[in-house]
Structures are given as structure tokens and as C-alpha cells.
């Protein structure tokens, strides 16, 4: 499958990793994220996703350890209509702990620096869910499994 990509100035080029099914994404700007606040990290590219496909954007397993941030909406979903020339992908992050201290406007701030070129997240494309129709019933006629956590604790 070929997907057209547009890079914004100075962006790190994307490539599929050799192990795994995700593509790493990189910050395209230096951003200081204060503890307890969020920022949108520009990723430096736009994709023309094919009709019927969507992108799922998530943090890497090392994102919190490295920058002390989490993705503020758990996972980003980019649908096949976000395909304009200026529809740059961004990763919304929220800083939970101090990694760096920075003096901003004469005040020492706690937070973390995400630098241009940092490998901040990953994405994959997936087919969208097919059209579904709900059929309301009184019973499924199946045995109950036993509730959440019913497969045991160990």
C-alpha cells in the first residue's frame, strides 16, 4: 500500500521500524511542557490516508520514562478526512512529573523539554470499523463468564 506524505519544514522522515508493526513519530519543534499542563507536539507530517483507513497514534513504551508525559487522550485517532495540505499530525501530551527546571519570564518552572527530533510516539494505520446495526434483544442465550477480573488474579 502506498500512502502519500507531506513533510513540514525540517521534519524527521518516517520509516517503519524493523521489529513490530508501528511507525515511530518525532517532535518537529522544541516544546517545554510544564508539570500539570498539556501541549500539542507537532510531528512534522501530514498523511493522505486512503478511504476506509484511520491512523492510531500512541505513546512509545519509553515515552513516560524519558519525558514524564502521557498522551492526554490515551490514543489519538486520525480519520481519512484529515488529509489537507496543512493537516499536520500532533501528539497531545500532559506532563505528570518534573524532568527539567527552566527559567521562563524570570520564574523557575518545572516540567520537561521535548526537543525537535525526539522519538515521542508511534502510529499504525487500520481499517475502519465496518458499518454495523444494533439488534436489540432480551437475552443472548450465552453463559455468563463471571464479571470483570473473572479469569483469576494470578
Cell of 79: 480519520
CB under 8 Å to 60, separation ≥6 — which residues?
Answer: 24, 119, 120, 121, 122
Q: Which of 79, 85, 118, 144 is catalytic?
A: 79
80 labelled catalytic: no
Grid cell locating 28: 518537529
Are 25 and 119 in contact by the 8 Å Cβ rule? The answer is: yes
| DSSP 3-state of 148 | coil
- Which residues are marked as active site? 79
Amino acid at each position: 500500500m502506498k500512502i502519500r506524505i507531506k513533510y513540514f519544514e525540517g521534519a524527521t522522515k518516517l520509516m517503519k521500524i524493523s521489529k513490530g508493526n508501528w511507525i515511530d513519530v518525532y517532535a518537529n519543534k522544541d516544546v517545554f511542557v510544564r508539570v500539570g499542563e498539556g501541549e500539542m507536539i507537532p510531528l512534522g507530517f501530514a498523511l493522505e490516508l486512503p478511504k476506509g483507513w484511520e491512523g492510531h497514534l500512541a505513546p512509545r513504551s519509553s515515552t513516560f520514562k524519558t519525558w514524564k508525559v502521557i498522551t492526554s487522550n490515551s490514543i489519538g485517532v486520525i480519520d481519512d478526512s484529515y488529509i489537507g495540505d496543512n493537516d499536520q499530525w500532533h501528539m497531545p501530551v500532559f506532563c505528570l512529573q518534573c524532568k527539567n527546571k527552566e527559567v521562563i519570564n524570570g520564574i523557575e518552572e518545572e516540567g520537561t523539554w521535548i526537543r525537535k527530533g525526539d522519538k515521542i510516539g508511534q502510529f499504525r494505520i487500520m481499517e475502519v470499523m465496518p458499518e454495523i446495526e444494533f439488534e436489540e434483544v432480551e437475552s443472548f442465550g450465552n453463559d455468563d463468564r463471571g464479571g470483570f477480573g473473572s479469569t483469576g488474579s494470578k
